[in-house]
Structure formats: structure tokens, C-alpha cells
Structure 1
Amino acid sequence: MINFNYETDFVLENESLYEGWINKVIISENKLLGELNYVFCDDDYLHKINVEYLNHDTLTDIISFDYTEGNIISGDVFVSIERVKDNATDFNVSFADELKRVMIHGILHYCGYKDKTSNEASIMRKKEEEKILLFHVEQ
């Protein structure tokens, strides 16, 4: 089950399309869907979570809490729409593609991918690109 929650004025268009894509990504990693909760929010909302739960006094685009057990992918994914908009401008990509990258980034963490080292980050970027392409196949 995938739930989309909104703590800002942003609303994801065509939730079912995103739900199908996320499920396809999970299956492509030989995992099963448990329960995922996406929370779309603003910088202030995510900053408070970052300080309270992670002790990081910084802005970020995504925070994910992983509740995965074995091959069943579950978790809470918080996405700052403000950060996604800024990132899209900084990386010269569309907002839609940057949103997909951030949304799937959390899922890839749940699948076991890391991004702490430069090698891990490189693998994560490749996986993000690979999974974004699965979205385009959906359409």
C-alpha cells in the first residue's frame, strides 16, 4: 500500500501512475511492497524532522525512515517540495524529473543502496536514472 500525504499546497497529479511506477521499481529489485507513506512538505516541516529525529540542523530534500523487513519494503518518505524545486533549477532538470529522482531515492535506500562514499553515490545515481526510465515506460 502506498499513501500520499500533503503538508503543503503541492498535490501530486495522477497518484495512481506514481503508485504503479513505485511498485514496478520495487519489483525490479526483487522486493515486495509493504506500506509506504510519502509526505510532501515544505522546508520548515522537514527541517524540524531533521533536527528532532536526526540531530541535523540543515535543510534537505528527503528524509526517509526505513521499516523494511526482509524483502518487504516499508517506510515513511518525507519530501520537501521547496528543495526539489531548487534542486531542479540547480541541476537544470525539470521539476517532474527531480521529484521522481527524490521519490525513488528513498526506495533505493530501502532496497539496500547507500550513498555515503563517492562510489556508493555513483551507483545510487545510476540506479535513480534507471528507475526514472521505468516511469516513462508506464506512460
Structure 2
Amino acid sequence: MAAAVANCQRRVAVSPARLARTAEWALAALGRAAGDVDVVIVDDAAIRRLNRRHRGVGRRTDVLAFPLATPDLPSPLVGQIVISGETARRQANRLKVPLAIELDLLVTHGVLHLVGYDDRDPVEAGLMHEREREILSAGRRRLPPRLWQGLLKTPPPVSGSGHPRSTPTRNE
């Protein structure tokens, strides 16, 4: 399994190594340990263009996912995730969570889209966000409950305890 990260913007500092580890962790958690994924960090203008071109929506979004695996051809390539660094930073600031954790969430969200999760239906969205929480919480320190604002109808338990797809930016 491998994740390649390309930072194609200069406005927001990101850790490509951390994003690669997050993508690899999510793939492994989903039983796709042999899969490869590309993560591309862009600015708002670039993600707006991609959103318009591939979804017909002329506004920015936080993450787009482009599944590339085909059932007829065995390939380790799962797909490509494109994230707006600027939108991620705004969301992190609004929720008062570290940018790195917001980016972890967006990478995980993108990986879930690549393997078939869909958040266009409210019920499926709830299942998808539960899976995000499970993946991000496993093996990590407690995540700030604020991270889930705008994603889940109910807050996560306090116990510490899948064509292009996209998620609209939270609370925008």
C-alpha cells in the first residue's frame, strides 16, 4: 500500500508525510491495504474549477474523490483525493481544531468515497461519518468532539472510546 501526496499550493502548510500515513491507515482499516492512493492539496480556486468541471457545481468544496479502480482490471490504484488546503484551514479555525486533524478527517473522508461510501443520502452519510470516526479514533489520542460539528446529527460518544464524489464544506 502506498499513498503519494502532492502539495500544489503555497498558502497553507501541510505535512505530506502525515497525510500519506493517514491515507494508508484508512485504506488498511477498510481492508484495502494493498491499495494505492494519491492525495493532492490545492487552493480554493483549483478545487472550485475541478468541482465545476467534474460535478457541475461552481463553488469550492473541501474534498473531491476520484475513484480509479475498475472491476475488470486488477490494479492497486484506488483513486485520487483532492483537498483544498484553504478550505480545510477555514474549517479547522471555525471548529477550533488543529489543521492537521481536520486534514486527517478530509483524507479519511476521501478514502471512504474512493471505496464506495456515499454521503448524498442522509442515512448513508451518517454511516460514512461513523466509519470516519472509527478509523480516526482507532489507535489515536482522543479527538476533539468539535471535529464532528456539522457532520453528525448526534455527537460522538464520550467514552474515548464510498464518478467524482464530494462533501460540501461544513457550515458554509
TM-score category, normalised to shorter length: 0.7 to 0.9
What SS does the corresponding residue of 1:36 show, helix, strand or coil?
strand
1:135 offset after TM fit, Å? 6.0
Q: Does 1:80 align with 2:84?
A: yes
What SS does the corresponding residue of 1:51 show, helix, strand or coil?
helix
Paired residues of 2:66 and 2:79 also in contact (CA < 8 A):
yes
Question: Cα–Cα, structure 1 residues 57 and 66, in superposed 2: closer, same or farther, change >3 Å?
Answer: same
Q: State the partner residue of 2:133.
A: 129
Q: Does 1:43 align with 2:47?
A: no
TM-score normalized by the length of structure 2: 0.69
Q: Does 1:13 align with 2:15?
A: yes
Question: Cα–Cα, structure 1 residues 46 and 84, in superposed 2: closer, same or farther, change >3 Å?
Answer: same
Greater fraction helix: 1
Paired residues of 2:47 and 2:84 also in contact (CA < 8 A):
yes
1:3 offset after TM fit, Å? 1.1
> Which runs of no fewer than 5 residues in structure 1 stay unpaired?
none
Per mean C-alpha deviation after superposition, the further-off stretch among 55-64 and 1-10 is 1-10
Deviations 1:109-128 (A, max 9, x none): 12221111111111111111
CA RMSD of aligned residues (A): 2.2
Q: State the partner residue of 2:25.
A: 24
Per mean C-alpha deviation after superposition, the further-off stretch among 77-86 and 30-39 is 30-39
Paired residues of 1:51 and 1:57 also in contact (CA < 8 A):
yes
Paired residues of 1:40 and 1:80 also in contact (CA < 8 A):
yes
1:130 offset after TM fit, Å? 1.3
Taking the aligned partners of 1:66 and 1:30, their CA distance within structure 2 comes to 16
> Which runs of no fewer than 5 residues in structure 2 stay unpaired?
142-172
Question: Cα–Cα, structure 1 residues 86 and 21, in superposed 2: closer, same or farther, change >3 Å?
Answer: closer
Question: Cα–Cα, structure 1 residues 7 and 112, in superposed 2: closer, same or farther, change >3 Å?
Answer: same
What SS does the corresponding residue of 1:75 show, helix, strand or coil?
strand
Matches within 5 A, 1:52-67: 52-67=53-68
Per mean C-alpha deviation after superposition, the further-off stretch among 110-119 and 54-63 is 110-119
Taking the aligned partners of 1:118 and 1:30, their CA distance within structure 2 comes to 25
1:32 offset after TM fit, Å? 3.6
1:133 offset after TM fit, Å? 1.9
What SS does the corresponding residue of 1:116 show, helix, strand or coil?
coil
Q: State the partner residue of 2:120.
A: 116
Percent identity of the aligned residues? 21
What SS does the corresponding residue of 2:64 show, helix, strand or coil?
strand
Paired residues of 1:3 and 1:38 also in contact (CA < 8 A):
yes
Greater fraction strand: 1
